[in-house]
Structure 1
Amino acid sequence: MPEKTNPTHDAVDTILAQWRRERPDLDASPMGPIGRLKRCTALLEQRLEACFNHYELTMWEFDMLATLRRAGAPYCLSPTALFSTLMVTSGTMTHRLKRLETRELIIRVANPHDARSMLVQLTPAGVVLINQVVEAHVDNERQLLSALSAETLTSLDTQLRALLRSLEQDGAAQA
């Protein structure tokens, strides 16, 4: 039998109610925030991708171009710095670099500090593109968050920062 619809409830409330019904002995409350974070991530990614698609970019392409742009002029990083920042494997990074090179958004240049290695640099076309996309991206994110008050956003950001720091510290301790 489907759960009754309550306008203040979300899909996670339905899941929690089902667990309370099926396993009243189990405190499933941690599923609330984790489930909401997962569902928000999935829904946000869909809307972020829609913005990037307008510029014929994927999310990972945006992330890579934005990482290079944030590095500051001359918008250049080592492949190791890129894959560490983007949390992907070196094999994945190699494939992605080739794709962006084919699109003429990045080039590989000699590392002036180490003749054995190359750096990844935005091309002029890559700089123009990422400058356009990042403006649209920020506007999109602002719109996505517009249902929340400034006070709520500040509180949410503070709480998510605390969670992220905790998870990062736990991850570092386990590594």
Structure 2
Amino acid sequence: MSPTASERDDEVDLLIDAWSRRLPDVDLTPLDVMSRLRRAANRLARLRADAFKSAGLAAWEFDVLAALRREEPPHELNPAQLIEATMIGSAAMTNRLDNLSRRGFVDRRPNPRDGRSVLVRLTSEGATHVDDAMRQLAAREGNELRGLSREDQATLVRLLRRLVQDPD
């Protein structure tokens, strides 16, 4: 089966062809996958940023609010749990929580089980924004995938899952 016009001579094909001429002894097959994944990741980052912006959020705000929203009511976590969920440092989390609190998206209160710490709770305003962002994101990502059948999407998920799993 020959490739369709949209599957021939894209940027990655041209990149691989050029490098093949310079380094004919190197197997550049991995570039075929990884360069396309990088391009897809860059496209996804732009799509996500636009979806979050349309809901009045920055990507970092979405990350923190989404971590809280996924929790069962009352949608609260301590800062250490938020750091683990968002994979950022303590100082960055403090700054983010200050900003989100100023915007009225989260409330902080003393932790009744540990007087030295606080609990961060999603407010109704924060829930409205993060829910809107998720709706926007799902619609936009669905639109991006419209050219793939459900079966193709399932195959892609299966293959990507294998690719990102730890080899051990």
RMSD: 1.5
Query: How many residue pairs are counted as aligned between the two chains?
Result: 163
Moved over 4 A (4+): none
- The 3-state SS of whatever aligns with 1:71 is coil
- Please tell me whether residue 136 in structure 1 is matched to residue 122 in structure 2: no
Tell me the equivalent position of 2:92.
Answer: 92
Q: State the 1:132 CA deviation.
A: 2.3
| 1:17-76 alpha-carbon deviations (Å, 9 max, x no partner) | 111111001112212211111110101111121111112211111111111100121110
Q: State the 1:125 CA deviation.
A: 1.0
Paired amino acid for 1:75: H
- The 3-state SS of whatever aligns with 2:120 is strand
Q: State the 1:166 CA deviation.
A: 2.3
Of 131-140 and 79-88, deviating more is 131-140
- The 3-state SS of whatever aligns with 2:61 is helix
Of 127-136 and 152-161, deviating more is 127-136
Aligned partners of 1:33, 1:79: CA distance in 2, in Å?
38
Aligned partners of 1:23, 1:38: CA distance in 2, in Å?
22
Q: What are the ranges of 5 or more consecutive residues in structure 1 without an aligned counterpart?
A: 1-5, 170-175
Tell me the equivalent position of 1:154.
Answer: 154
| 1:137-173 alpha-carbon deviations (Å, 9 max, x no partner) | 2112111111111011000001111112126x5xxxx
| 1:116-138 alpha-carbon deviations (Å, 9 max, x no partner) | 11111111211222222222221
TM-score, normalization: structure 1?
0.87
Paired amino acid for 1:28: L
Note closer, same or farther for the CA distance 1:137–1:77 as it changes in structure 2 (3 Å cut): same
- The 3-state SS of whatever aligns with 1:116 is strand
Q: What are the ranges of 5 or more consecutive residues in structure 2 without an aligned counterpart?
A: none
Percent identity of paired positions between Structure 1 and Structure 2: 34
Tell me which of the two structures has the higher relative contact order, counting C-alpha pairs closer than 8 angstroms and 6 or more residues apart: 2
1:104-115 matched pairs, under 5 angstroms: 104-115=104-115
Tell me the equivalent position of 1:173.
Answer: none
Of 151-160 and 127-136, deviating more is 127-136
Tell me the equivalent position of 2:43.
Answer: 43
Aligned partners of 1:140, 1:166: CA distance in 2, in Å?
29
TM-score, normalization: structure 2?
0.90
Paired amino acid for 2:148: L
Aligned partners of 2:32, 2:109: CA distance in 1, in Å?
48
